[in-house]
Amino acid sequence: MNKYSSVSILEVPLDFNSSHIRGPALAPPIIRRVLMNGSANTTSESGIDVAKDERVKDAGVVSWETEAQAFVNIEQKCTELAEQGSKILTLGGDHSITYPIVKALAKKHQGLTILHFDAHPDLYDNQDGNKHGHGCPFARIMEGKYAARLVQLGIRTLNRHQAEQAEQFGVEVHEMKNWSVDTPLNLTGPLYISFDLDGLDPAFAPGVSHFEPGGLSVREVLQVLKKIDLPVVGADIVEYNPKTDINEMTAMVCAKIYKELAAMLLKDLN
Ligand SMILES: [Mn+2]
């Protein structure tokens, strides 16, 4: 049995693996500020006040001296937290950070399923030679067998290379063009949820680095999350870019997703 007694909120200000524009390193304090700015309350739709729940812990910020050290430190911090019996919810970062996080959690959990919200499959073998580009994390995760299943939602940019990668790794890609909120996902636990803001339609979340029209609504995401009745052991909220946001409306979407994910993580603590 894997016992957990708390949920750690961990800030990961990393965006040097972004292929287009930077910005997600600035995200964590903004998400935290808007969550608490008084414009909305801090209770999830499932009825848990995530700001008042003392089982939610502040794990601070992951830091590093050199870029080469960053993934090592992220993995080490997540490994420590998991060993201490804390689930992890990370804030900020480009999507490359999901690799060291999942690698850490895989030490504790065999057979993880990843539910991955994104416009992009992020299965590139490399990006301009960078094996850890923000379009590559799920190639690294599946190659390393750090997850048993990868279930992707919101996808609308599947090119030939990534379709081949998806087939090779057995990725369950639910392309936006064929998906509805009633599409069965047959999820199995333990579950890790990776939430890239650009899985949403840019109309709902303009504060991203790669605008891809035709995406999910916030409500569709909430409906998918509401149906999940499995142990969730970790989650990330990545690719929020404050530099392209409008009136912090995307920051508020991050805060909304934060509340729901934190509530899900709290659900089956011992
Ligand atoms: Mn993306």
- Tell me the DSSP string of 87-103: EEEEE---GGGHHHHHH
The alpha carbon of 174 and the centre of ligand 1 are apart by a number of angstroms equal to: 14
- Tell whether 12 is covered by a domain: yes
pLDDT digits (tens, 9 = 90+) for 80-99: 999 999 999 999 999 999 99
pLDDT at 16: 94
Separation CA 222–CA 107 (nearest Å): 29
The strand order across the sheet containing 6-11 reads 56-61, 6-11, 86-91, 232-238, 191-196, 113-117, 149-155, 172-175
Number of structural domains found in the chain: 1
More confident residue, 265 or 1: 265
Give domain status of residue 196, yes or no: yes
**Is the residue at 1 inside a domain?**
no
User: How much distance in Å is there from the Cα of 148 to the middle of ligand 1?
Assistant: 21
Q: Is 34 part of any domain?
A: yes
DSSP per residue, 175-191: EGGG--TTS-----SSE
Instruction: Please give the mean pLDDT across all residues of the chain.
Output: 97
Res 2 pLDDT > 90:
no
Distance 119 CA to ligand 1 centre (A): 5
Assess if residue 88 is contained within a domain: yes
Residue 129 CA to ligand 1 center (angstroms) comes to 19
pLDDT tens digits, 195-231: 999 999 999 999 999 999 999 999 999 999 999 999 9
* CA of 165 relative to ligand 1 center, distance in Å: 16
| Res. 189 pLDDT band, cuts 50 70 90 | confident
Mean pLDDT of 18-31: 96
User: Which structural domain range is residue 73 located in?
Assistant: 6-266
Q: What is the pLDDT of residues 143-184, one digit of tens each?
A: 999 999 999 999 999 999 999 999 999 999 999 999 999 999
pTM of the model: 0.98
Q: What tens digit of pLDDT does each residue of 40-69 get?
A: 999 999 999 999 999 999 999 999 999 999
Please report, for the domain that includes residue 249, its CATH number.
Answer: 3.40.800.10
Mean pLDDT of 95-107: 98
CA of 55 from ligand 1 middle (Å) equals: 31
CA of 157 to the centre of ligand 1 (A): 9
Structural domain contains residue 27: yes
